[in-house]
């Protein structure tokens, strides 16, 4: 039994089905990526796993418990944190307040403070500007804060939606390095990325989602080598 299992997921916005048969699983301690083009249904899938959307049909099982009928705050309580697409920080709140909201469900003040320090160690720039409003930060800094905020709930499974979106290559590298680091500390990571190359390079396992369906799966390495993936998602000249 995998840590997270998603089976035959169908999700619709009104009459429009955004996801029409997504199946994948995430083993504990792995980094798993969902890749695919814009509008393929990756974000919708994550939003459904975290409880923001209700599936029309299909199953989502976390550690043996079906969670697809639970509200978002219950799912968070079971150890799933979701850092949404576009970061969506609370722009009018300070870094500290954003992090405290990440720890909203916890009431161990000491633990919260030490976790906050840990995040400031990981991203020193956040520590320096802890009392500044999040809206004033650069894209990379915002992404760090978004990841930090998601980590504040001490998740077993961290879901990151497009963490590299709009970032410089250097910043992208830093974010992916952070993901690797988190994995080494024992966090399971589910990554949604359009930047397929970097995502696949770092993933233990990956799935291709196309038009709302999972079409291919394999290890990151296998998919990197697959001609179909290369053609569709990696562009020219990366096959070597």
Choose between 102 and 140: whose C-beta lies nearer to another protein. 102
**In whole angstroms, how close is the CB of 176 to another protein at the nearest point?**
22
**In whole angstroms, how close is the CB of 76 to another protein at the nearest point?**
4
**In whole angstroms, how close is the CB of 123 to another protein at the nearest point?**
19
Choose between 31 and 208: whose C-beta lies nearer to another protein. 208
Choose between 92 and 131: whose C-beta lies nearer to another protein. 92
HEC assignment per residue over the chain: CCCEEEEEEEEEECCEEEEEEEEEEECCCCEEEEECCCCCCHHHHHHHHCCCCCCCEEEEEECCEECCCCCHHHHHHCCEEEECCCCCCCCCCEHHHHHHHHCCCCCCHHHHHHHHHHHHHHCHHHHHCCCCEHHHCCHHHHHHHHHHHHHCCCCCEEEEECCCCCCCHHHHHHHHHHHHHHHHCCCEEEEEECCHHHHHHHCCEEEEEECCEEEEEECHHHHHHCHHHHHHHHCCCCCC
**In whole angstroms, how close is the CB of 62 to another protein at the nearest point?**
15
Residues that bind another protein (CB under 8 A): 8, 10, 17, 20-21, 23, 50-52, 56-57, 71-73, 76-77, 81-82, 84, 88, 90-93, 97, 100-102, 104-105, 149, 153, 213-219, 222-223, 226
**In whole angstroms, how close is the CB of 128 to another protein at the nearest point?**
22
Choose between 77 and 111: whose C-beta lies nearer to another protein. 77
Choose between 23 and 174: whose C-beta lies nearer to another protein. 23
């Amino acid at each position: 039994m995998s840590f997270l299992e998603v089976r035959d997921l169908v999700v619709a916005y009104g009459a429009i089905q955004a996801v029409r048969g997504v199946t994948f699983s995430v083993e504990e301690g792995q980094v798993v990526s969902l890749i695919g083009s814009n509008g393929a249904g990756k974000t919708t899938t994550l939003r459904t796993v975290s409880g923001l959307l209700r599936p029309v049909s299909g199953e989502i099982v976390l550690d043996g418990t079906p969670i697809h009928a639970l509200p978002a705050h219950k799912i968070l309580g079971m150890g799933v944190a979701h850092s949404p697409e576009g970061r969506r920080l609370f722009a009018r709140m300070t870094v500290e307040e954003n992090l405290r909201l990440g720890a909203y469900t916890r009431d161990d003040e000491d633990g919260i403070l030490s976790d906050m320090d840990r995040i400031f160690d990981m991203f020193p720039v956040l520590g320096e500007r802890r009392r500044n409003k999040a809206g004033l930060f650069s894209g990379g800094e915002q992404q760090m804060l978004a990841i930090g905020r998601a980590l504040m709930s001490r998740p077993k499974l961290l879901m990151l939606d497009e963490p590299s979106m709009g970032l410089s290559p250097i910043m992208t590298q830093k974010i992916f390095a952070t993901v690797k680091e988190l994995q080494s500390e024992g966090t399971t990571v589910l990554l949604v990325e359009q930047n397929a190359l970097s995502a696949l390079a770092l993933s233990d396992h990956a799935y291709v989602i196309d038009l709302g369906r999972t079409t291919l799966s394999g290890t990151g390495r296998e998919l990197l080598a697959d001609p179909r993936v290369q053609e569709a998602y990696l562009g020219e000249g990366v096959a070597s």
